[in-house]
Amino acid sequence: MGASSSRDEAAALEFVDRVTSENGVTVFSKSYCPYCHMVRVWKRVITGEVSCLKYHVVELDQKSDAPSGGDIQNALAATTGKKLSTRSLGVGVGDLVVAANSASTGVVLRLGRRTVPNVFIQKESIGGGTDVQALFQSGRLTEMLRTAGVVDKPFDVIVYGATGFTGALVARHMAAEADSALGSPKALKWAMAARSEAKLAQVKEQLKEHLPEVSAELIDAIPVVVADSGDEASLVAMVKQTKVVVSLVGPYKLYGSLLVKACAENGVHYCDLTGEIIWIDEVTAKYADAAAKSGAVLVNCCGFESIPSDLTTFLVTDRIQQKYNAATGQVDFYFTKFVGEASGGTLATVFTIMETSTSKQLLASRNPFFLTDAATIAKKQAAGLIKPNSSGVAVRHDKAMGFWHSIFMGASVNQAIVHRSNQRLQGKYGDKFVCHERMAIGGFFMQLAATIGTVVLSTMLYFKWTRVLLKRLARAPGEGPSEEAMRKGFFIAEAAGYSEDGKLAVKAKTVGSGDPGYRLTSRLISECAFCLANGEFEMPEGLKGGFYTPASAFGHKLADRLHRKKFITFDLKDVQ
């Protein structure tokens, strides 16, 4: 009898643990109990508010198989109770379950909830009928369900900043792309958001013009959310409605920080198009702990800056590791063809960086390891890796690739992202890894002219009075190229990967379709949002909350998506 009773108790405990683990909300009930009926009524009210509640009921009086309803009630008392010695108890035994004996302290008991209904959110009991009623009426129940992640939010993705030029392109992509296509029952649920409802209505009219194949009724039905980048309460209200936020509200230093805070603190995944590494460093320092606690995954630089070089480097280093069982010594990444126009938003961001950053910050950001951490920077400094990773202004020739190459304007941002990827991937690329990103369009004289132009432009950006002149000449944020120009745009990049012994091991060719700064970028960040919404992460076990790069967050999952859809194709060839 004793052995059989122990097996029954163990089976009941295992049953309770399994059922509460598998279900967001579990109710242990009896079909005739009026308090159990109360919980079922509140369930119908709750699901009307929070949609798709993951809810399971165990009717103990109707359970005919093992474990029995009585054994399950005992297991509930043991699961929800606290260990107590009989020497400290002055209570009855109606809700006590004997757990063990002790010669020194007397019988050890667990005081727990044996009665029904017993309502669990995941593996934690929140009480019975009157307890659930009180939690609901106070508003705490709905919040507890959302915090535990056991209810589906209204949206999988919210596109914030949808009224800008790039934001409207993202909305266009999501309206037609299979993952999020309007009218598809299996598609992700998404909404557009901005501070102006009237401008969001204008975006819908633009979508009708550009997507004649999509029903106007479906476009009109796209949900909209109004939130202001300077109003934290409105941002929090917005992020609580979605799994993922796509932020398109640069310059991010001016308009993006409160949204990052809201996502990090509320467990909402996030991606953006920033190239502002000083700002990235600031928000990481402020909100990394909150993101770690909430589980929010925040991914910066999800457009042309910095996905091409970040993913190509990831793939090249992975090929070297898999093919040759070696770390990577160096990756050289070259843009060999480029057809596209400078984004007004990108230019506005450059102006903002120069006007809101100190000389000390600007100097520090030139360190290729700027986005790692103090310990990593000190380690790389001691190893003499700072200078080899820095991009000089001299025109050089790469014998292995046959290119003359010169400084690339976005290299400092992209190299910082690549090194952050290596850090987030636990040094996957190698401890002595070196990377360069350069421009290799045309021959020597073309590179010489490009270098002189870059130096002149950088000098003009540094001084206030020359920045004023550049602002007058630059395209304004919100403006963009023609449809034809966006279709004809593309880039081609080639990379060389060297193993740690210095031998050329892998060559790669990366081709992007569509204007890099607009059409392609809108597709890239949309695909990152799909990865976040679907849980498509590089690590099979998922990611801990924190700040990531595209490669460290998504890796092969994103590369495969882009290659399959021919947004960016990656062609790798072994050399050795």
Residues 337-355 as b or e (16 or more Cβ within 10 Å = b): eeebbebbbbbbbbbbbbe
DSSP string spanning 125-155?
Answer: EEESHHHHHHHHHHTHHHHHHHHHT-S--SE
Question: Which of 266, 299, 332 represents a domain boundary (last residue)?
Answer: 299
Residues 338 and 287 in one domain: no
- Between residues 128 and 264, the one the model is more confident about: 264
Write out pLDDT tens, residues 198-244: 999 999 999 999 999 999 999 999 999 999 999 999 999 999 999 99
In a domain, 534, yes or no: no
**What pLDDT score was predicted for residue 50?**
53
Question: Which of 274, 299, 324 represents a domain boundary (last residue)?
Answer: 299
Residues 110 and 177 in one domain: no
Residues 176 and 210 in one domain: yes
Residues 314 and 273 in one domain: no
**What pLDDT score was predicted for residue 36?**
77
Question: Which of 74-83, 155-164, 280-289 has the weakest average pLDDT?
Answer: 74-83
The pLDDT confidence band at residue 3, using thresholds 50, 70 and 90, is low
In a domain, 548, yes or no: no
**What pLDDT score was predicted for residue 465?**
81
426 pLDDT more than 50: yes
> Parallel, antiparallel, or unpaired for β 190-194 and 155-160?
parallel
What is the rounded distance in angstroms from the CA atom of residue 426 to the CA atom of residue 559?
20
In a domain, 543, yes or no: no
Query: Running DSSP on this structure, what letter comes out for residue 67?
Result: S
**What pLDDT score was predicted for residue 458?**
79
**What pLDDT score was predicted for residue 89?**
41
How many domains does one find in the chain? 3
CA 329 to chain centre: 29
In a domain, 16, yes or no: yes
**What pLDDT score was predicted for residue 139?**
73
What is the rounded distance in angstroms from the CA atom of residue 42 to the CA atom of residue 117?
13
Residues 30 and 8 in one domain: yes
Q: Are 253 and 281 in contact (CB under 8 A)?
A: no
In a domain, 127, yes or no: yes
Residues 402 and 495 in one domain: yes
The pLDDT confidence band at residue 54, using thresholds 50, 70 and 90, is low
**What pLDDT score was predicted for residue 459?**
81
Q: Are 530 and 561 in contact (CB under 8 A)?
A: yes
- Cis ω before 306 (30° cut-off from 0): yes
Write out pLDDT tens, residues 90-144: 443 333 333 333 333 444 444 577 888 998 888 888 888 888 888 887 878 877 8
Residues 278 and 363 in one domain: no
**What pLDDT score was predicted for residue 277?**
95
Q: Are 74 and 12 in contact (CB under 8 A)?
A: yes
Write out pLDDT tens, residues 302-360: 999 999 999 999 999 999 999 999 999 999 999 999 999 876 667 777 778 778 878 89
What the block records as the tokens of 531 is 């990865």
Residues 335 and 227 in one domain: no
Q: Are 489 and 562 in contact (CB under 8 A)?
A: no
In a domain, 33, yes or no: yes
Q: What is the mean pLDDT of residues 412-422?
A: 96
Q: What is the mean pLDDT of residues 41-57?
A: 62
Neighbours of 568 (CB within 10 A): 27
What is the rounded distance in angstroms from the CA atom of residue 95 to the CA atom of residue 82?
12
What is the rounded distance in angstroms from the CA atom of residue 316 to the CA atom of residue 570?
10
Residues 390 and 452 in one domain: yes
In a domain, 533, yes or no: no
- Cis ω before 477 (30° cut-off from 0): no
**What pLDDT score was predicted for residue 40?**
66
CATH of residue 195's domain is: 3.40.50.720
Q: Are 412 and 391 in contact (CB under 8 A)?
A: yes
Neighbours of 526 (CB within 10 A): 26
Residues 288 and 432 in one domain: no
Q: At what angle do helices 464-473 and 444-462 cross, to 10 degrees?
A: 120
In a domain, 556, yes or no: no
H and E: helices and strands count for the chain: 24, 21
CATH of residue 95's domain is: 3.40.30.10
264 pLDDT more than 90: yes
Strand partners, 225: 193
Residues 131 and 167 in one domain: no
pLDDT above 70 coverage of the chain, percent = 89
What is the rounded distance in angstroms from the CA atom of residue 324 to the CA atom of residue 48?
57
Question: Which of 148, 183, 213 represents a domain boundary (last residue)?
Answer: 148
pTM here is 0.78
Residues 275 and 388 in one domain: no
Question: Which of 148-152, 162-166, 528-532 has the weakest average pLDDT?
Answer: 148-152
Question: Which of 174-183, 268-277, 455-464 has the weakest average pLDDT?
Answer: 455-464
- Between residues 296 and 20, the one the model is more confident about: 296
**Sequence-ordered alpha helix ranges (H) in 386-443:** 386-389, 411-424
Where do the DSSP E strands lie in 518-567?
546-548
**What pLDDT score was predicted for residue 410?**
86
What is the rounded distance in angstroms from the CA atom of residue 55 to the CA atom of residue 156?
20
pLDDT above 90 coverage of the chain, percent = 61
Identify the domain containing residue 397 by its residue range: 307-519+562-574
The pLDDT confidence band at residue 448, using thresholds 50, 70 and 90, is very high
The pLDDT confidence band at residue 41, using thresholds 50, 70 and 90, is low
Average pLDDT of every residue of the chain: 87
What is the rounded distance in angstroms from the CA atom of residue 190 to the CA atom of residue 534?
13
Where do the DSSP E strands lie in 345-428?
396-398, 403-407
The pLDDT confidence band at residue 299, using thresholds 50, 70 and 90, is very high
